[in-house]
Structure 1
Amino acid sequence: MTPGFVAAILFGGLFVLIVLRVPVAFALALACMPIFMLEPRLTPVLVLQEMFRSYNSFVLLAVPFFLLAANLMNAAGITDRLIRMSRALVGHLPGGLGHVNVVVSMFFAGISGSSTADAAGIGSLLIPQMKKEGFSSSFSVAVTACSSVMGVIIPPSILMVVWGGLMSVSIGGLFLAGVVPGILIGLSQMLAVYIYARRHGMGLHTRATFAELAGAFAGAFLALMTPVIIVGGIVGGFFTPTEASVVAALYAFVLGLLVYRRLGPRHAAFVFYDTGRFAAIALFCVGTASAFGWTLAYFKIPAALIAYVQYLDLGVIGMGFAVAIAFLIVGCFIDAIPAIIILGTVLFPVTQEVGMHPIHFAMIGVISIAFGLVTPPYGLCLLISCSIARIPVKAALRDVGLILLPMLLILGLIIVFPSIALWLPRVLMPQFVN
């Protein structure tokens, strides 16, 4: 069987199964079955073997622990404190609560690493308040959903942990590379909120006094130390990314239980259950996606793709746009982690062939796949935000598109100017980022 024939069966079968609404984790494994039955040298048992082999990874332990840290932070009332501080910082601007929504998502992203936790925790508090201030339901949903994608771009990021573990890229370098792009994306969203507020005649609010700002900062200080501990610990070599996720979870647990005293035994039990459920879903996707990726590699599909790219003679910028388009399309249909395992591992050697820096490639991939969290039919963060606002998804699509446009511009700048992502890692971790 030729690489093209195998790729057609794998991706064609996957697409058909997704259209039939088979869960993606099962669809990935089922799409491999025809190949394993047609090829005499393979057996379906290999699917299970590859799944179990993929779980034998110390780095993957970071996924459930970062999820646990995010859920503990939500249960401990961290979100309320971050909203209060964000309101003191930017609440006086036109469209105050819209800016607060974006800024608090940036802060929460630096604590949790999970976009869905961001959308659920912040959306439930701010969407009703934004509607009272005069924002439409659709724009309130759009701001909440689009700002939540920063959860996987601003460090710590679960997607970056998975990416670094799969492709042997410095996770500390990836964390640092996400800082500047994440801030730029946040500023682009604040610009969209500002334009909306001006168009709808929303005026300035009362500026917080210095005492109010200081009080809000003091209330959120311990929570804001989380990214400093995690990223600083990894960059300084004090602990590995997996150990950092455990430290983050323990720190969140201590804050909720002993400092803020919002986390009781019943809350803690629900948080552990909810974390285990979501971690199981994510890690099952990792296993089936790994089996799918192994099948692609076995039939030398990445090598065939490299040969095709050499024929096209794409440079770093052309390849960057090709990578972004591929991840943007795939992200509309499947979850981010299996998309990284399948598409990232296939495209990684191709980008190496054209001379693209591994961290530059990672940032293009992570940012592009993050868009899938707000683009239907998958759009998990959009679905969560719409369910909170009690509006259909199609009602929010126009406003989501308006906020995504400046975000796409930032993605284009990162592709054309790699130093936007690579500057901070080169300054702070030159030994890992040449």
Structure 2
Amino acid sequence: MLATTLFLSMLMLLLMGVPIAFAVAGAALLAMVLLLPSMPLVLVPMSMFNGMDSFPMMAIPFFVLAGELMNRGGISMQLVRFSQSLVGHVRGGLGHTNVVANAIMSSISGSALANIAAVGRVMIPAMREEGYDRSFAASITIGASLLGPIIPPSITMVIFAVTANQSVGALFLAGILPGVIICTGMMGLVYVRSRRRRYGTITPFSLRRVGREFRRSFLALLMPVIILGGIFGGIMTPTEAAAVAAFYALVVSMLIYRSISLADIWQVALSTTKTTSFIMLVIGAARVFSDVMLSEGVPGQIAGAMLSLSENPVILLLLINLLLLIVGFVMDTTAAIIILVPVLMPVAIQLGIDPVSFGVLMSINLVIGMATPPVGVALFLGSEVSGLRVEQLAGPVALVILVHIATLLLVSFVPAVSLWLPEIFGY
């Protein structure tokens, strides 16, 4: 009864257009009033605060700030030029450049939306001018931007690590190889489509050009080295690495590239505050929802019900993936992680799934929802940047999502894909 009330009321509020944080918290509050009158309402603000009061969570505003500084500082253009020098000579060169630039930006921002805003505004017009179909250019941008929550430093992985009490470093490492597979798959898709439609011109490869663009973008490329090297070298915690990344981005943008003025800092701070506030509000609301479920043992009941459906682990794993995909269609990634980890982690453990591998599996499932209606924030931002209606992007984006689904199945049934690097580094 409690689980039904919680999830149905949350779904109804979402369908009414209520913001995700208020829908989640409102559903929990309604369940407390109607079904748990003995539970004091003062637990709501306490639970929200406890959800946000975590040292690893401090990495989120720092990573958001670093991404904002890099985007506004025009550093994304340097990365695009370097990417083009590497892969611009292959058929569909600008499409490959789009994918590679998004991958590099992902290793800096940890956010899909930051990637679309930075790379999409540069690459979609450039691809259009060279004869690429605009919907194809936009769909490649949207699909490649989803690397942000998968490869380090992923904000999504930080949230999962805190919720599931896992190592942030292990999850960062676990996302690298799946991210490379997605990147490779998308470049293969670009190549096949470009050969069929004769997209783009082929320019000779120049090692001298690669060296020149590398020198120009060296300071931007150094940021992921600082972040990941500091974490995996045992020099910094992920939170400390995020703070160093934000400071480094500020110094590079203001003093070296001189692309940000003091007047721009206010806009950067404002945008960072808005994004961080939204994430933290969702985290706090989802923690209330999760605590209400835990107080009545709902996760154990749901886990038992799922395990009773079948004894076949393959079928159960497919059911978990299907559930996560559906949830990703209608719920924000942050809220979904905090609410569903207590529910699905017991099932995953009984199936013998490593918690770190499950974190990657869950992240890929949920980020696919960012590119699908009705809550597809990456899809809507891609529509805005490209100037196309959402329905015009539906078909091309669906084709790109197949690459992510293929990678998801690989991660699900071949755990070594996500666990190989963590095991090498001793996590």
Scaled by the length of structure 2, the TM-score of the pair is 0.97
Q: Alpha-carbon deviation of 1:219?
A: 1.4
Equivalent residue, structure 2, for 1:296:
293
Find the counterpart in structure 2 of residue 269 from structure 1. 266
Q: Deviations over 1:34-54 (max 9, x none)?
A: 221122211333222211121
Contact kept? 1:94, 1:198, Cα under 8 Å = yes
Q: Determine the structure 2 residue equivalent to 1:50.
A: 47
Q: Counterpart of 2:6?
A: 10
**Post-superposition shift, 1:305?**
2.1
Return 89-98 or 148-157, whichever deviates more: 89-98
Q: Contact 1:88–1:207 at 8 Å: present in 2 too?
A: no
**Share of identical aligned residues, percent?**
37
Structure 2 Cα separation of the partners of residues 317 and 226 of structure 1:
40
Shift of 1:317: 4.1
**Per-residue CA distance 1:121-180 (angstroms, 9 max, x = gap):** 111111111111112221111111111000111111001111111111111111111111
> Could you tell me which of 210, 215, 221 is aligned with 1:213?
210
- Equivalent position of 1:34 in the other structure: 30
Change (3 A) 1:364 1:314: farther
Provide Cα deviations, 1:240-283, integer angstroms capped at 9, x if missing partner. Answer: 11111101101111110112111110111110111001110110
Indicate whether 1:59 and 2:22 are aligned.
no
Cα pair 1:316 1:356 within 8 Å, conserved: no
Q: Within 2, Cα distance between the matches of 1:151 and 1:307?
A: 34
Question: In 1, Cα distance between the equivalents of 2:209 and 2:313?
Answer: 48
Corresponding residue of 2:409: 412
Please tell me whether the aligned partners of residues 315 and 354 of structure 1 are also in contact (alpha carbons under 8 angstroms): no
Residue 21 of structure 1 corresponds to 17
* Residues 286 and 337, structure 1, Cα contact 8 Å, conserved in 2: yes
In 1, distance between residues paired with 2:289 and 2:363? Answer: 20
> For the residues of structure 1 that align with 2:237 and 2:311, how far apart are their CA atoms?
36
Q: 1:341 aligns with which of 328, 338, 342?
A: 338
Partner residue of 2:252?
A: 255
Inter-partner Cα distance in structure 2 for 1:346 and 1:315: 19
- Residue 395 of structure 2: aligned partner: 398
Distance 2:70 2:235 in 1: 23
- Is structure 2 residue 350 aligned with structure 1 residue 353? yes
The CA RMSD over aligned residues, in Å, is 1.4
Q: 1:424 aligns with which of 416, 421, 424?
A: 421
The residue that corresponds to 1:179 in the other structure is 176
Task: Confirm whether residue 237 of structure 1 aligns to residue 234 of structure 2.
Answer: yes
Structure 1 pair 215–296 and aligned structure 2 pair: CA distance change class (3 A): same
> 1:305 touches 1:350 (CA, 8 Å); kept in 2?
no
- The separation in 1 between residues aligned to 2:130 and 2:256, in whole angstroms, is 33
Q: Is the 8 A contact 1:159 1:336 kept in 2?
A: yes
Cross-structure match for 2:128: 131
Indicate the residue corresponding to 2:119 in structure 1: 122
Q: Which runs of structure 2 are paired with 1:76-91 in the superposition (5 Å)?
A: 76-91=73-88
CA contact (8 A) 2:132 2:200 kept: no
Q: Classify the secondary structure of the residue corresponding to 1:372.
A: helix
Deviations 1:297-330 (A, max 9, x none): 1111111123224434546544433332222111
Does the 8 Å CA contact 2:94/2:200 hold for their aligned counterparts? no
Identify the residue that residue 147 of structure 2 maps to in structure 1.
150
Equivalent position to 1:70, from 67, 70, 84: 67
Determine if contact 1:91/1:205 at 8 Å carries over to the other structure. yes
Shifted more, 381-390 versus 322-331: the winner is: 322-331
The one-letter code of the counterpart of 1:44 is L
- Equivalent in the alignment of 2:224: 227
CA distance in 2: counterparts of 1:165 and 1:335, whole angstroms: 17
- Partners of 1:327 and 1:231 in 2: CA distance: 29
Which letter maps to 2:210? L
312-321 or 237-246, which deviates more: 312-321
User: What is the rounded CA distance, in whole Å, between the counterparts of 1:194 and 1:345 in structure 2?
Assistant: 41
What are the ranges of 5 or more consecutive residues in structure 1 without an aligned counterpart? none
Q: Deviations over 1:193-238 (max 9, x none)?
A: 1121112123651123111010111112221121221112111221
**Counterpart pick for 1:311 among 308, 312, 326:** 308
Question: 2:14 & 2:372 partners in 1: Cα distance?
Answer: 16
Distance in 1, matches of 2:277 and 2:155, equals 14
Paired with 1:89 and 1:82, the residues of 2 have a C-alpha distance of 11
Tell me the equivalent position of 2:188: 191
367-376 vs 199-208, which moves further: 199-208
- Secondary structure in 2 matching 1:69: helix
Question: In 2, distance between residues paired with 1:248 and 1:354?
Answer: 38
Q: Check whether the contact 2:150–2:179 (CA below 8 A) recurs between aligned residues.
A: yes
Match for 2:138: what amino acid? V
Aligned with residue 363 of structure 1, among 347, 360, 365? 360
Asked if the contact 1:314/1:354 (under 8 Å) is kept, the reply is no
SS at match of 2:148: helix
Equivalenced residues, count:
426
Give the superposition deviation at 1:84: 0.4
**Aligned partners of 2:63 and 2:110 also within 8 Å:** yes
Distance 1:238 1:319 in 2: 40
CA distance in 1, matches of 2:320, 2:272: 32
- Find the residue that maps to 2:275 and give its secondary structure: helix
Quote the offset at 1:403 in angstroms.
1.0
2:99 corresponding residue in structure 1: 102
SS of corresponding position for 1:356: coil
Residue 14 of structure 1 aligns with an amino acid whose one-letter code is: M
